[in-house]
Amino acid sequence: MKILMVSAEAVPFAKTGGLADAVSALAGSLSLLGHDVRIVMPRYYKIDRRELVKLEGPLGIPVGTGQEWTAVYKTDLKGFPNVTVYFIDHENCYGRDGVYGTKLEPDFNDNPYRFSLLCHGAFQICNKIGWYPDIVHAHDWSAALAPVLLKHICRSQSQFRNTASVFTIHNMGYQGVYGKEKFTDLGIDWNLYYGAGFERNGAINFLQAGISCADMVTTVSPTYSKEIQTIEGGFGLDGLLRVRSDVVKGIVNGVDTDVWNPTIDKLIPKNYSFDDMKGKAACKKALQEYYGLPVREDVPVIGLISRLVSQKGVAEVFAPSYGCLYNLCSSMDIQFVLLGSGDKWCEDEILNLQSKLPNFRAKIGYNENLSHLIEAGSDFFLMPSRYEPCGLNQMYSLLYGTLPIVRRTGGLADTVENYNEVTGDGTGFMFDDLTPQSVYDTVGWAVYAYYNKKDHIKKMQQKAMKKDFTWKASCENYIKVYEEALNRGCNI
């Protein structure tokens, strides 16, 4: 099967979140199964042209009210030489810091134009190289124009007549909403403003159009696929998703076990496995030393790595006079370590709490090496997400024998098994309502088990570390979705 991925980001070239990891890992894993997979994305300022191969001749891309001339570069996806990544090179659109925006300008004003150039360009690249996909797989709102173009324009061309589209929603919270005046940037006829499903409340909604036009719609966990069809989880698009429920599928993302694997991880002090956990104690000691905490083998260490934004439930943990962290660290014999960045109020309050709590230590920012050490050295990992489409850290935690404490939502509900106090079965600790009290109580439940049910904790760790989160099962499910998309697309 020939599969074209259209995405604003992909590792190792550009990343703002889990989308970039998922696109590259899925593409690479599908290629290992014998599929011809290619990725189209922008060449951002930080992607060095000198490390890429330039295709001969310019590429004309119809966009807005005219045409842009771009260069196209390519390279192999790291670790997967059979996956070619094509880069659309246009200095005015992509020659800047930031994928979607910067701290000073969180959402670039010309994003509709920038990502329309990406989607139109994806089809033009196919024409340029004479390679035509069976599946166009578009990821998130920034690639949502691709299924629109396929359905309403490109299928009229013989080359794409038998091509089908799959649209993956990685996070419903980001929809690509812009003023109606930006519609001319899309380079399509005005009748598609309504006809392709862009119109919402007098504005443009890219995500809505992608859902409306794709042959199949996927999201990144089965539970999340149900949640987005509810008023609470649909962010205003639940009605459309219910109408199209027959094409909506949830597939849990996989984990790159060449990178996240305690038996071979080169970023942790000592490797370990489910049948020999000695190395985990060495990692815990190194983590405590790194954060300047007393080295104590007997105290439970709770880790948290997160973007410090509302989605992640940070208010219930850190908000002044509201969050539960102060009470947690004051009333329980625990150590708590954090790595993250995000909303300034949250960063400031975390530093304030650190000055008051000797058993709470934080690093503001992101550090890949430290994130591996936290996963390996912690006993528990807290993820109190308001919503979590898939989540990766809870899967990393399970593989490292670090028991997750999570809210029962989205991918967290699909990957963590709640602790049974009678049998000791389970792989983590779960709560339902997101409140400071429920977070406090569930952390207390885990801490009680740590001190009083050590045989249960060991049993849970071993079960967690045996979990299979490789991309193989995810790929098999995506192939089924691709086959269904082809059946639906060819019958339109």
213-263 pLDDT, tens digit per residue, is: 999 999 999 999 999 999 999 999 999 999 999 999 999 999 989 889 999
- Please state, in angstroms and rounded to a whole number, the distance separating the CA atoms of residues 224 and 233: 8
Query: How much is the pLDDT for 366?
Result: 87
What's phi and psi for 41, nearest 5 deg?
Answer: -150, 170
- Eight-state DSSP code of residue 157: S
Contact 94/45 with Cβ under 8 angstroms?
Answer: yes
Each residue's pLDDT tens digit, 121-135: 999 999 999 999 999
3-class DSSP state of 181: helix
Provide the 10 A C-beta neighbour count for residue 258.
11
- Measuring CA to CA, how many Å separate 389 from each of 385, 411, 416, 418, 457? 10, 6, 14, 19, 27
3 state DSSP class of 383: strand
Strands 80-89 vs 135-139: parallel, antiparallel or unpaired: unpaired
Q: What is the pLDDT of residue 262?
A: 98
DSSP 80-99: EEEEEEEEEE-HHHHSSS-S
| Mean pLDDT value of segment 303-311 | 95
Could you tell me where the DSSP H helices lie in 272-343?
Answer: 278-290, 314-318, 325-331
The two tokens of residue 329 are 């660290």
Establish how many alpha carbons lie within 13 A of residue 320's alpha carbon, considering only the half-sphere containing its beta carbon. 8
The two three-digit tokens of residue 482, written as one number: 């691709």
Q: In the structure encoding, which two tokens stand for residue 168, read together?
A: 């993956």
Peptide bond into 42 cis (omega under 30): no
- DSSP reduced 3-state for 4: strand
Q: Which helix (H) or strand (E) holds 439?
A: helix 436-452
Which of 244, 187, 245, 184 is CA-nearest to residue 63? 187
Instruction: Quote the pLDDT of residue 489.
Output: 76
Please state whether the predicted TM-score (pTM) of the whole model is above 0.85. Answer: yes
Quick check: 144 pLDDT over 90? yes
Hey, what amino acid is at 97?
D
Q: What is the DSSP letter of 386?
A: S
Is the distance from CB of 307 to CB of 433 less than 8 angstroms? no
442-455 pLDDT, tens digit per residue, is: 999 999 999 999 99
* Residue 310: closest CA among 395, 394, 235: 235
